[in-house]
Structure 1
Amino acid sequence: MQHDFWHDKWQNNNIGFHQDQPHALLTQYFRSLDLKPHARIFVPLCGKSLDISWLINQGYQIVGIDLSPIAIQDLISNLGLSFKEAQSGELTHYQHPQIELFVGDFFQLTTQQLGDVDAVYDRAALIALPPQMRSQYTQHLLDITKQAPQLLISLEYDQNSLKGPPFSVPEHELTEHYATHYQIKLLETITENLKGKVIAYENVWSLGKSPQID
């Protein structure tokens, strides 16, 4: 999947994946991560999601990244906050005391640029990527976040019935990517009619740190 695909999506406002309210599974289950007040949350491939406003309103510090400058500019406009802009390597960096935003390729984001994070919220990152990119994504995410716990929302459906994105990520694949690093817990499954074409199962997962074995 090339950068041009996503740039065209935003340029043409073909963003059916964007929701006009915070995700219900986020608001219901994010506290299951049992984070401390003012924890720092990383939101990969964040778009202009209203989930970010919800997280800020809960008192969390946010770091987000998206490939599209249109998405980040729309997000900044919607937040109504004043940011300092700087170049950070290949990425554009927008900074505010409550939130930092990067524009550019997720795979170019380094641990040093990201800084320490307490958790990851992945609503539309893993399922946005085709199979051949998902292993690279999960490994890079684990590396730069130092295996921070996650709240992850995935979709599972008959991929033969609908061309992604969003892509189907079955449970066995999620296990392949993350079981070595996390205790994976399914919190809820919601059935939906995806794009009016196929029955899909939206799953919300808690990926907590595995207990240390003496």
Structure 2
Amino acid sequence: MQSEFWHNCWQQQRIGFHQHEIHPLLPVVLSQLNWHQSKAVFAPLCGKSLDLWWLARYGKVIGAELSELACQQFFHEQQQEFSISLQNEFQHFSHPAVDIWQGDFFALEPQQLGHIGLIYDRAALIALPAQMRIDYVQQIKRLCTAPVSLLLLSLEYPQAEMSGPPFSVTEQEVRSLFDFAESIQLLAVRNLTGRPFAQRQFNVSQLLEKAFWIQW
């Protein structure tokens, strides 16, 4: 998928993937898990997710987002002041609680993130087609070295019934993509069949959201 697709989504406000509240699984599962809370939380392809503000209670949050408009809205809608600096091909949106690197996720370097203890992926992996999912996981592995934990929210539906994004990413594919991990644990399953996913309703025969806890 080309970057223009996502830029157009934000320009035209076709952002049905955005949730107007904290993801319901986030406070439930994260309160029961252990990770290196002395390190930062990383949220790839974060959009303007309110989850980042919630995660900031645990410490510094670092997001990565392609759209400048999404970054601007993220801070303006919460009436938060921020600064912007240019660093190579990125704009760095800086705030005491949440920083966002705006630019090409695949061009990020580990030194831009520092030490990450937790990765939070709400809808990044499922936003990407198959080959890009492989590249995404390899970039995550390169950026966030062990020991690190990943809270991954994935989506499953009969892919033939709908073209993504979001794409269907099965549990089998998740385990294959992260075959280098020390552990992959299925934490929770939400049956969303016939119910909205974020702001959208999908006409599919089955829709499951799964939460994985992955560590390497």
* Distance apart, 1:123 and its partner CA: 0.4
User: How has the CA–CA distance of structure 1 residues 133 and 37 changed in structure 2, closer, same or farther, with 3 Å as cutoff?
Assistant: closer
- Show structure 1 runs of 5+ residues with no match: 210-214
Q: Secondary structure of the equivalent of 2:163?
A: coil
Give TM-score, length-normalised by structure 2.
0.91
Which digits, 9 at most, give the CA deviation of each residue in 1:59-104, with x for residues without a partner?
3210001101111100011333322211111110011222211111
CA distance in 2, matches of 1:14, 1:105: 20
Task: Give yes or no for the alignment of 1:202 onto 2:209.
Answer: yes
Aligned to 1:113: 112
One-letter amino acid of the structure 2 residue matched with residue 30 of structure 1: L
CA RMSD, 1 decimal:
1.4
CA distance in 2, matches of 1:116, 1:144: 9
Aligned to 1:68: 67
CA distance in 1, matches of 2:141, 2:202: 34
CA distance in 2, matches of 1:54, 1:132: 31
CA distance in 2, matches of 1:36, 1:182: 16
One-letter amino acid of the structure 2 residue matched with residue 74 of structure 1: Q
Aligned to 1:91: 90
Aligned to 2:188: 188
- Show structure 2 runs of 5+ residues with no match: none
One-letter amino acid of the structure 2 residue matched with residue 206 of structure 1: W
What are the within-5 Å matches in structure 2 for residues 3-14 of structure 1? 3-14=3-14
Preserved contact between residue 38 and residue 117 of structure 2 (Cα < 8 Å): no
Aligned to 1:41: 41
More moved, 173-182 vs 41-50: 173-182
Matched-pair identity in %: 39
CA distance in 2, matches of 1:134, 1:154: 12
CA distance in 2, matches of 1:82, 1:35: 29
Preserved contact between residue 53 and residue 98 of structure 2 (Cα < 8 Å): no
Q: Secondary structure of the equivalent of 1:33?
A: coil
Q: Secondary structure of the equivalent of 1:18?
A: coil
More moved, 43-52 vs 195-204: 195-204
Higher relative contact order (CA 8 A, sep 6+): 2
What are the within-5 Å matches in structure 2 for residues 15-164 of structure 1? 15-35=15-35, 37=37, 39-56=39-56, 58-147=57-146, 148-164=148-164
* Distance apart, 1:53 and its partner CA: 1.4
* Distance apart, 1:31 and its partner CA: 2.6
Aligned length: 208
